[in-house]
Chain A
């Protein structure tokens, strides 16, 4: 069979696309394992971990607070009008707290970090790749994945749960603002329901999710930057731009898919 007829054959194309997808997964898994192994290799990279903690964690606090506040406020409004149809507006505190702690807190925190820090990581590592800075690291016997990715994973494993906790707390306060201050639910009832309905299992479940999201987001974003030179559709600055878009879309979708899988195990 000629080369042209193979490329036209839909089964051959499907097979090629499947193999390419599997190869991509394998490559990303090896990339992740390599970076995790080097999290524990000496000398410790304290300075770079602290830099990344500042970049991923500290600089995201404002965005997380604003997003958390408005998410909680919207939940307060929507929850109030839904619960009022059943005469149970007193349960608003439970509804807001459980929705935030179990689901929206970890998911929205991860998605906001993808937009703020993940995209910047892909672009930064991608530019380092196309300007031969990653090759320069290799010539100095510095492992580029250890140098660039491992500190980011450590920083994300610390930052994601903490930012999720901030998101949840601010969100619950947002629910209080609309539920109690705007719509008149007794504040004591609101906070009593928050306290009585949330168990440690819910909180732990949220944190487990945020840890999985941290590993996924950093791996996907760094991977696309690191391999930006292997893209077939474009090179140079445009290639870095496309890698950033791919990283943001893939990381966001994976967060939602992993959220579903983890929820089905945690419930």
Chain B
């Protein structure tokens, strides 16, 4: 099998007394969408933040194309960072900037594109996400669903190679939810980016994922294809996938 693009090896993270990640091992392959599922509060966002470097593990290593981040040269580190994009769970939009400036900022600050090229790129993403007309509004003037779409537009505007989505469709209506899933899948087929999605949209999210990982009590208890997940007879997995409330109370 190919070398994973990103590999988490025995990664552990503890916040005060609470161990959130306990010797996690996870492989993310190039050109695939890996979905991380798990109960709320299990550390899925913490896991994503470790991948992008916002959090550092207490122990363990994260390898990018087989090498630790610090083992890359400084030029490689910068180019590696530029390949990433991150969509935050709570959008993390700049609330004192307009929608247009929010989406254009990564291009204005970290690319050599001209003003016209930036305008075109922003317009394309805004059209795809059905937020045209909100350019001069501020995030505080938008609904939760629209803010989510602005955050998605900002994450996609740089045409990144690796995108980390933290619950990209939470709070969206069913039609837009499907549209966003379809857009991620189409875009992934077209450009072949590597995606890591944290999602609770089960089973819809499986249709766009090549790989699924289930995080439970600080450990990855399953990694594999969506089909393998569905056929797994582990009671914790089937409980989570089928959402049996009574069993969920037991495992809690």
Contact = CB atoms under 8 A, between A and B. Distances in A.
Interface stretch (B78-86, B187-195, B208-216): B78-86
Contacts of A128: 94
Given A139-B84, A140-B106, A132 B92 contact: yes
Query: Contact residue range for chain B?
Result: 20 to 34
A142 B88 contact: no
Given A135-B54, A136-B86, A142 B92 contact: no
A131 interface: yes
B88 A132 contact: yes
A135 B92 CA distance: 8
A142 B81 CA distance: 10
A133 B95 contact: yes
A188 B105 CA distance: 57
Nearest to A127: B95
A147 interface: yes
Interface hub of B92, B94, B105 (most chain A Cβ within 10 A): B92
Nearest to A128: B94
A228 to B, nearest CB: 16
Give the interface SS of chain B, mostly helix, strand, loop or mixed. Answer: mixed
Contacts of A141: 78, 81-82, 110
A135 B89 CA distance: 12
Contact of A140 (B93, B96, B105): B105
A202 interface: no
A103 interface: no
Given A131-B95, A140-B110, A140-B158, 16 more contacts: A128-B94, A131-B92, A133-B92, A133-B93, A135-B49, A135-B54, A135-B92, A136-B88, A136-B92, A136-B93, A136-B94, A138-B53, A141-B110, A142-B105, A142-B109, A147-B109
Interface residues of A, number: 14
Which 4 A/B pairs are nearest by Cβ-Cβ distance?
Answer: A139-B86, A132-B92, A136-B92, A140-B106
12 contacts: A124-B96, A132-B88, A132-B90, A132-B92, A133-B92, A133-B94, A135-B54, A136-B94, A138-B53, A139-B85, A140-B109, A140-B158
B46 interface: no
A131 B95 CA distance: 10
B105 A139 contact: no
A240 to B, nearest CB: 14
Interface string B33-61: 00000000000000001001110000000
Contacts of A147: 109
Interface in B58-82: 78, 81-82
Contacts of B85: 139-140
Interface string A136-155: 10111110000100000000
Interface string B156-191: 001000000000000000000000000000000000
B106 A142 contact: yes
Interface in A103-146: 124, 127-128, 131-133, 135-136, 138-142
B52 A139 contact: yes
Contacts of B105: 140, 142
B152 to A, nearest CB: 13
Contacts of B49: 135
A133 B96 CA distance: 11
Nearest to A132: B92
Contact of A135 (B78, B88, B96, B110): B88
A147 B49 CA distance: 21
Interface string A183-209: 000000000000000000000000000
Interface string B83-117: 01110101011111000000001100110000000
B167 to A, nearest CB: 13
B54 A142 contact: no
Contacts of B84: 139
Contacts of A142: 105-106, 109-110
Nearest to A47: B108
A128 B94 CA distance: 8
